Amino acid sequence: MRALMYDGTTTRLVDAMEVRKPGPREVIVEIVAAGLCHSDLSFMSGLYPVPSPAVCGHEGAGIVAEVGAAVTHVVPGDHVVIATLSACGFCDRCASGKPTACRQTLGNASQPFSLDGDPIWNFAATSAFAERTIVRDVQCVKIAKDVPLTSAALVGCGVVTGMGAVFNRANVERGQTAAVFGVGGVGLNVIQALKVQGASRIIAIDTVPEKEALAKQFGATDFLDGRSEGLVEQIVGMVPFSADALRGPFNAGGVNWSFDCVAHPAVTTNALECLEWEGTVVVIGVSGPGAEFKGLYTRLTQVDRGIIGCRYGTISPHRDIPRIIELYRRGEVLLDELVSATYPIEQWESAVHEMEAGTVARGVLTL
């Protein structure tokens, strides 16, 4: 079968990849569509300390082809979204509905593939850039067959990461205000989740001004060019301390929430600087392992501001993915509009180029 493989140096499309038979609690999924995101590019660039050679891709949807003997919740022919979270289902974190904190979801790479007799690793417990992949049963979330799989594929990571950050990690309240740094696939889903939650002002910031129309289509009330001078002052100017003063004591004034979908030191610092008292920065983006940011302690002390991380939207896949699909089917969130372009997997390099150029919201590979 065809698969996109990173060998530790380069990425190439191969056509003789094989996948083993499923174990008792495993599922073979025929991949129909797979989203391409920056995490995939980071893996292909060797940024992550994970084994290779490996089959790439971590955001996919498809049709169940074969199930293990102990699998009961899906059958061949079902349409599924694949969650990258391969949780154990039994630890205290899983039992409390927080599988993103399950220790078994990290460092559990395996070699379910082979090429010319040599074992090949999976990536992010998913490997969606292949005609068929093998995942644990808990990773398969059944969806209705009328949901386009090209749109559903994005729910597996980018959509739940952005929306979950708002619904689960931040718990934004109706009427609150927010700044969203980075209007890519994750940022757009932060924006539309904020709209669902009833945020009164949603300020989108990006260094590509052409993204303004897209940001507003998804629910942003305002858009700022991230390259402009006095960015923090512009944000605070929309929600100032008072009618007479931009800032008050202990830097009062600003938004209740900042969502950093970039994880660049300067962005994180700006996200902190534009917060109101009791405001919180939610860092969603993924940086290099040695990246650092800096800020003033007095921005945090006395006034209960905070900085928190967010892994995979702090989701529970079998709770949150069906909820998002239902919001989509009711017309309350956009999924089809996220897909700027689809590419046959043979054109994966074009998809990478257009993503890096910032000309697409999200590109989807089809198999």
Distance CA(262)–CA(277), nearest Å, equals: 23
Q: What is the DSSP letter of 107?
A: S
One domain, residues 118 and 37: yes
Q: What is the pLDDT of residue 287?
A: 83
The answer to whether residues 21 and 165 belong to one domain is: no
Given this model, what pLDDT does residue 46 score? 85
**pLDDT for the residue 45:** 87
Q: What is the DSSP string of 268-324?
A: HHHHHHTEEEEEEEEE-S---TT------GGGTTTTT-EEEE-SGGG--HHHHHHHH
Looking at the fold, whether 144 and 164 belong to one and the same domain comes out as no
Give the whole-angstrom CA distance, residue 157 versus residue 163. 10
Q: Are residues 202 and 70 in the same domain?
A: no
**343 and 257 together in one domain:** no
Beta bridge partners of 365: 34, 343
> Would you say residue 318 lies in a domain?
no
Model pTM? 0.94
pLDDT for res 289 = 77
Q: Measure the CA–CA gap between 79 and 82, rounded to whole angstroms.
A: 10
Q: Do 163 and 87 reside in the same domain of the chain? A: no
Residues 117 and 208 in one domain: no
Which segments within 163-226 are labelled E, that is strand? 177-181, 201-206, 222-225
Q: Is residue 153 part of a domain?
A: no
| Residues whose CB falls within 8 Å of the CB of residue 10, separated by 6 or more in sequence, listed in order | none
Instruction: Record the tokens describing residue 77, joined without a space.
Output: 């022919």
Contact call for residues 28 and 132 (beta carbons, < 8 A): yes
Rounded Cα gap, residues 261 and 286, in angstroms: 8
Residue 200 has a pLDDT of: 98
Domain that holds residue 202: 159-312
Beta bridge partners of residue 142, listed in sequence order: 80
**323 in a structural domain:** no
Whole-angstrom distance, CA of residue 166 vs CA of residue 98: 15
Asked if residue 329 belongs to a domain, the reply is no
pLDDT of residue 356: 84
114 and 81, same structural domain?
A: yes
Phi first, then psi: give them for residue 212, nearest 5 degrees.
-60, -45
- The answer to the question of residue 325 being in a domain is no
Specify the 3-state DSSP secondary structure of 177: strand
Residue 143 lies inside a defined structural domain of this protein: yes
**Tokens encoding 186:** 């994750």
Residue 168 burial (CB count, 10 A): 21
Alpha-carbon gap, residue 88 to 105, rounded angstroms? 8
Q: Classify burial at 302, counting beta carbons within 10 Å of its beta carbon; exposed 0-12, middle 13-18, buried 19 or more.
A: exposed
Q: What is the pLDDT of residue 181?
A: 98
Task: Look at residue 41 and tell me if it is in a domain.
Answer: yes
Distance CA 119, CA 228 (A): 50
Q: Which residues pair with 255 in a beta bridge?
A: 275
> Do residues 267 and 288 both lie within one domain?
yes
pLDDT of residue 169: 96
- How many Å apart are CA 124 and CA 121, to the nearest integer? 10
- Whether 290 and 186 share a structural domain: yes
Token pair for residue 299? 């921005």
Tally of structural domains, the chain? 2
CATH number of the domain bearing residue 269: 3.40.50.720
Q: Are residues 294 and 343 in the same domain?
A: no
Tell me if 156 sits within 8 A of 36, measured CB to CB: no
Q: Look at residue 121 and tell me if it is in a domain.
A: yes
Q: What is the block-wise mean pLDDT of the chain (367 residues), using blocks of 10 residues?
A: 96 97 98 93 86 96 98 98 93 93 88 97 96 97 97 96 97 96 95 98 95 96 96 97 95 98 95 97 88 91 95 96 97 95 95 84 91
CATH assignment of the domain containing 124: 3.90.180.10
DSSP single-letter state for residue 144: -
Q: How many CB atoms lie within 10 A of CB 21?
A: 10
pLDDT for position 27: 98
Show the tokens assigned to 283.
Answer: 């860092």
Identify whether residues 31 and 143 lie together within a single domain. yes
pLDDT tens digits along 251-306: 999 999 999 999 999 999 999 999 999 999 999 998 877 889 889 999 999 999 99
